[in-house]
Structure 1
Amino acid sequence: MNKFRRFYLNHLKRKMFNKIILLYSAIMMILFLIAAVMAYEFQVQRIIREETDANLKTAHVLSIYLNRQYENIQNTVQQIYGDAALSDDLVYFLNNRYESYLSHRLNLFSRPGEQRIRSFSSLLKSYLEQNPGATGVTIYSYPLDFYMQIRPESQQLKYETGSKSEWENWFDRRKIYAWDTIHQYGRFWDTVDPAASRMRYSYSRELQDPWTLDKMGMMMVEFDAGQISAWLNSRAPEVHGRILVMSSQGTVIYDSQTTDSYFGQTYPFQAKLDNTGKWIQLDEMSKVNVLSVGNAELSVVGIVSKSSIHASTVSLRNSLIIVTLLFIAASFIITSTIMRKYSKKIQRIIRSMSRIGEGDLTTRIQMPGEDELQQISQRVNDMCERLELYIDKMYTSEIRQKHAELVALQSQIHPHFLYNTLESIRMKAYSSGARDVGQMIYSLSVMFRSMVKKDTIVTIQEEIELCSIYLDLFRMRYEGRLKVDIEMDDEIGGCRIIKLLIQPIVENYIVHGFRSLESDNVISLHAVKDLERDRIVITVVDNGKGIPAGRLEEITRMLASPSQAAGGAQASIGLINVHERIRMNYGDDFGIAVCSEEGKGTAIRIEIPLLREGFM
């Protein structure tokens, strides 16, 4: 729960576009999922129709094959009964012992013109040769209890040796059910390979005397179930679903499925096969097609199970999942890209309004296009322009009043500055006669000319030159005991600064920090540009006496609250004045900072904005 709360606070609570992206992505995900489910269901129904139709086609092909087998048997029997010689030959065979039958055949051949009389056995062999699916024909004699097995390559005669009742029961069953498998009744098939007989089925027909209509025996034609598979492979290379061939009693004489086969068994779900076209519970939920094979008393059952449908739809389902995920990802990426574009516009407006809130009314929002964000930007720009006009109109008098106060503060420095300068000249004249007096007076005159100017804003170069002249006076005064290092970036020489900001700092060092008895006094003045913060940094560093810790703490406190220093004429008036003037002109973000250690020197840092010539 805490993770969700942190995620909400960090990414959603105050981020409108993230909420829009999340909501839109959720909607698109739901729509894509609905579309994918509908497409999947449509394709599943199509696959079910195709599988069912293909299964029905396979069942139809098989029914044609079985009907042809049945018709060939009937045609062969009709040929025997339609030919008097063949029917007489069959009747004599069934009613006499085989030795008598052979003698009868020899007598017929010995008669003039009777050499070409055909036998029923040759006709049956011809039938077997013309029908690859039939593997043999058996003729059984009721009166004499013997049977003959006729195969394409052999012919055998055998006598019944078992119980009479077993034969009679078997014959009674085959009279009722013409089609059946062989492996259940193996008395006729003791010479047949058991492995082969397990996949064979037979058709039985009772034989009658065509003249007396007496029942003389039974003919049974056996078939190889493997030939059905070969026939299907040649006519329907891909068998869809499961194919069963059942007799009228429900015995399965062919099963296309080799594992868990129902071959030779009574199909347990025969009663449910009337529900064609519906899902019914067999071994599993399935759809069935049932075709009757002419008058042969056979049924071809096509079964399409749900598991086979599921196997056909696995690749479809995986493809739909991948495509749906790709569409969702593409939608999310496209939406995020578009939203990020508008988010950047909003962030630009927010940043500009923040600068306006900080007082920079010169800020203008540049927004391309003609949408609502551009209209908002234009309204903000118009507001800034009106605010600038209002400020110019209402606060001009207040600015003028502050300017007068600044001039008054500057005037406090002049007497102190002139006193110190004249004192230096006096001491120089006293200690060393008139040498260098002319140069010092010249430098003093230059300073006077600069100071009497009414301009309160000068360039940084002019201010630093003033400090340089001032320090030259003291270098001449303390010859060999003061070293001066002045550096300035060329780029900021023309920038604007308030007059007499740096000179009081330098003067503060001469008055309070200079060690007149030492010869290693050094003061450095550096003016550089801070590109990152768009301001000018001026540092004045010396190795003078430094400031005691208590005094430094007091000065730091007064710089933080300049109003508390009012009336403290002796309390670092130069530093306080400079700091207050900077804050009044440039704002509270600018001013000076003091860093000092007693006996090691002082570093004073001045920060002012980077203002080009013509700004003030």
Structure 2
Amino acid sequence: MRKRRVNFFKHDFLINQLMQLYSFLLIILSIVIMLALSAYTGLERFHTSNRLAENSSMQLDTYVKERNTVVSTVLGEFTNSDTAFESLRNYLQLSLPEYFSYSNEIFRQTGQSVYLPNILYRLLREHSDIEEIIIQLDESDDLLVASPRAPYGEKQRGTKLDLKNRLYFARPISQPSNYAQPLGQVYVVFQADTVMANQAADNEVHGIDSFLYSTNGQRLFQSATGLSSSEVQMIDTAMAGENAHLLQKDYYVQQQTTVSGEISLVLLSKKVIWQEIIQKSLFIFAIGAAIIGLLLWVLQRTFKRYTSQVKTIVAATTAVSQGNFKIQIDTDQVQQELKEIAEAINQMTVSINDYIEDIYTLEIKQRDADMRALQAQINPHFLYNTLEYIRMYALSRNQEELADVVYAFSALLRNNTTQEKVKTLAEEVAFCEKYVYLYQMRYPDKIAYHVTVDPELSQLYLPKFTLQPLVENYFVHGIDYQRNDNAISIKAYKKDAQIVIQIKDNGKGATKEQVMAINETLQIAEIEKQTSIGIKNVHERLRGMFGNGYRIEITAQKDAGFIIMIYLPEAGIKKGMTHGV
């Protein structure tokens, strides 16, 4: 990990510094975006909860108004006339048979149905959310209680009511002829689960608690599933003492008093809101951190690959600056603009190598050939004079054949010791003829030699010792002196804008593997110290003089001889002449 960190913050290349700058900007920008997104999410969460709280407060207020209307309707059934009120009073004071007779008599006399059980049954059917209707008259020890379980009502002994934590609305009941004098109470108890309806689930999720209190501070309703009993008790205490402002430390409070005096209280928990905001912010930062990590990893990988490619190019240029002009950059390992740079460097090194081959290698090879030729020279003038004396003596003795041999040898020796770097094709061929002539004199009737040169090519300049080493290879390695049909030929002609020089023999030849090894040796473009002027030496000097337009092909078969084909560009005639000058 330490090594990776060090590599990540290296300053050896500009690209690494750019990577650090981009990484820093990426992190800063990501943090700003995450903070802005977290703030937006928090505000949106707060506004959403606040809207739900306002809706809850409006829902409570609407519910209270509607239920007060229902209570007024219930109350009206018993106080819309003195007859209805008397029917209620008699129901509580008379037995059921006596009350039944009473209600029938009223119906017979007035045509008005005041039968209380039917009225209660109808009210419960019309208002399905009524849990109980309780009527208490001060003058009676019984209570009239009607519920879905007992829809026709029933009398219960006792005047003590326990309506704690139940959702009810109370109205005083009076005789219609005297509203100023209350004679009892009507209590209508409603089902609490219908107060918030479908909004209760949203309130629970968003930490919204709803309460409804009576005018004396008694809790009539609560929708606070997320609160503990102690927290509910604390809220009840605050509302009983009319100290709702004490709740503002932990809650956002919305409080309203209805027309009938009930107090609706909606609490928005600060703890729940902030917990959710923090959770969402942590989630945003976790996702952001993961994205930043991924982007930094991709950035690091991309820049690392780019840096590696730059290092490869820098290493190559360093090697070139130290004199290694053979180095080549693998362009498959670099991309885009670096690939163009690498190709340019490769082309530059190739051009430099070609230049060295043209100027330096040719010079060295030629000097090497000259020096090896000079090693055999022992006082050239003395040798020339001595050989000329021998030749003249042979002529004086009528030994013309011996005189010709001495002349040929003298010519070879003179050619070896001269300092020219190039020779014409005609001179090279004449030199080879004298060389072959000496072998013919040594092995009479065993060697045939044939030369065909296009007259237009006779003045073609070639590096000195171009053809002689190729002919010498035949006499050193290929000839069989037991045979009488040994033959070697030299042909020079033009074909398809090329100059072709062919050296062909019928010697021992070579196997495919040997020919392949020779060709592989010729493909190695290196300057080597050689102990002889062989094919490799000839190949390098011709390539140095004629460049890419030159090529050589060597073919052979076992016991069937060699064929050496030298191809030169037709423009090589002028180039050779230029070198000759």
Is the counterpart of residue 24 in structure 1 residue 22 in structure 2? yes
Residue of structure 2 equivalent to 1:7? 7
Give a deviation string over 1:458-515, Cα, whole Å, max 9, x none.
79x9999899879857976589999xxxxxxxxxxxx99975699899999x99x9xx
* The one of 140, 151, 154 aligned to 2:151: 154
Say which SS state the counterpart of residue 221 (structure 1) adopts: strand
Give a deviation string over 1:388-442, Cα, whole Å, max 9, x none.
9xxxxxxx9xxxx99999899567335159889x8xx99xx9xxxx999799678
Alpha-carbon contact 2:200-2:223 (below 8 Å) kept: no
Give a deviation string over 1:216-248, Cα, whole Å, max 9, x none.
4443222222333547589x9998654433324
Residue of structure 2 equivalent to 1:84? 82
Residues 518, 250 of structure 1: CA spacing in aligned structure 2 closer, same or farther, 3 A cutoff? farther
Is the counterpart of residue 180 in structure 1 residue 165 in structure 2? yes
Mapped partners of 2:470, 2:317: distance in 1? 37
Mapped partners of 1:57, 1:102: distance in 2? 48
Say which SS state the counterpart of residue 31 (structure 2) adopts: helix
Mapped partners of 1:39, 1:219: distance in 2? 56
Structure 1 residue 54, shift from structure 2 partner: 2.8
Residue of structure 2 equivalent to 1:192? none
Residue of structure 1 equivalent to 2:336? none
Alpha-carbon contact 2:75-2:171 (below 8 Å) kept: no
Mapped partners of 2:102, 2:259: distance in 1? 40
Say which SS state the counterpart of residue 22 (structure 1) adopts: helix
Mapped partners of 2:10, 2:115: distance in 1? 99
Alpha-carbon contact 1:413-1:574 (below 8 Å) kept: no
Is the counterpart of residue 220 in structure 1 residue 187 in structure 2? yes
Letter aligned with residue 131 of structure 1:
H
Residues 81, 500 of structure 1: CA spacing in aligned structure 2 closer, same or farther, 3 A cutoff? same
Letter aligned with residue 155 of structure 2:
K
Say which SS state the counterpart of residue 358 (structure 1) adopts: coil
Letter aligned with residue 413 of structure 1:
Q
Q: Which runs of 5+ in 2 are unaligned?
A: 326-339, 349-354, 448-459, 484-506, 546-571
Structure 1 residue 149, shift from structure 2 partner: 2.5
* The one of 124, 134, 137 aligned to 2:133: 137
The correspondence of residues 252-291 of structure 1 with structure 2, limited to 5 A, is: 253-255=221-223, 257=225, 266-270=232-236, 274=244, 280=250, 287-291=252-256
Residue of structure 2 equivalent to 1:413? 375
Residue of structure 1 equivalent to 2:320? 355
Residues 142, 463 of structure 1: CA spacing in aligned structure 2 closer, same or farther, 3 A cutoff? farther
Give a deviation string over 1:535-557, Cα, whole Å, max 9, x none.
2678xxxxxxxxxxxxxxxxxxx
The correspondence of residues 330-341 of structure 1 with structure 2, limited to 5 A, is: none
Alpha-carbon contact 1:278-1:288 (below 8 Å) kept: yes
Give a deviation string over 1:230-269, Cα, whole Å, max 9, x none.
47589x9998654433324353624274xx6779995434
Letter aligned with residue 139 of structure 1:
I
Alpha-carbon contact 2:377-2:417 (below 8 Å) kept: no
Alpha-carbon contact 1:244-1:254 (below 8 Å) kept: yes
Mapped partners of 2:230, 2:186: distance in 1? 21
Alpha-carbon contact 1:456-1:499 (below 8 Å) kept: yes
| Cα root mean square deviation, aligned | 6.6
Mapped partners of 1:479, 1:58: distance in 2? 131
Structure 1 residue 49, shift from structure 2 partner: 0.7
Letter aligned with residue 60 of structure 1:
M
Residues 437, 220 of structure 1: CA spacing in aligned structure 2 closer, same or farther, 3 A cutoff? farther
Alpha-carbon contact 1:76-1:127 (below 8 Å) kept: yes
Alpha-carbon contact 1:21-1:336 (below 8 Å) kept: no
Structure 1 residue 46, shift from structure 2 partner: 1.3
Alpha-carbon contact 2:106-2:112 (below 8 Å) kept: no
Mapped partners of 2:438, 2:106: distance in 1? 166
Mapped partners of 2:219, 2:430: distance in 1? 125
Letter aligned with residue 190 of structure 2:
F
Q: Which runs of 5+ in 1 are unaligned?
A: 161-166, 182-200, 281-285, 361-372, 382-387, 389-395, 483-494, 539-558, 561-571, 587-611
Residues 228, 415 of structure 1: CA spacing in aligned structure 2 closer, same or farther, 3 A cutoff? same
Residue of structure 2 equivalent to 1:64? 62
Residue of structure 2 equivalent to 1:46? 44
Residues 40, 262 of structure 1: CA spacing in aligned structure 2 closer, same or farther, 3 A cutoff? closer
The correspondence of residues 530-549 of structure 1 with structure 2, limited to 5 A, is: 535=525
Q: Which moved more, 1:211-220 or 1:137-146?
A: 211-220
Q: Which moved more, 1:287-296 or 1:21-30?
A: 287-296
Q: TM-score, normalised to structure 1's length?
A: 0.52
Is the counterpart of residue 455 in structure 1 residue 420 in structure 2? yes
Structure 1 residue 33, shift from structure 2 partner: 2.5
Percent of aligned positions with the same letter in both sequences? 14
Mapped partners of 1:478, 1:272: distance in 2? 139
Structure 1 residue 60, shift from structure 2 partner: 1.5
Letter aligned with residue 128 of structure 2:
P
Is the counterpart of residue 202 in structure 1 residue 168 in structure 2? yes
Mapped partners of 2:259, 2:265: distance in 1? 11
Residue of structure 1 equivalent to 2:497? none
Residue of structure 1 equivalent to 2:213? 247
Mapped partners of 1:475, 1:306: distance in 2? 116
Say which SS state the counterpart of residue 415 (structure 1) adopts: coil
The correspondence of residues 452-601 of structure 1 with structure 2, limited to 5 A, is: 454-456=419-421, 499=464, 528=519, 535=525
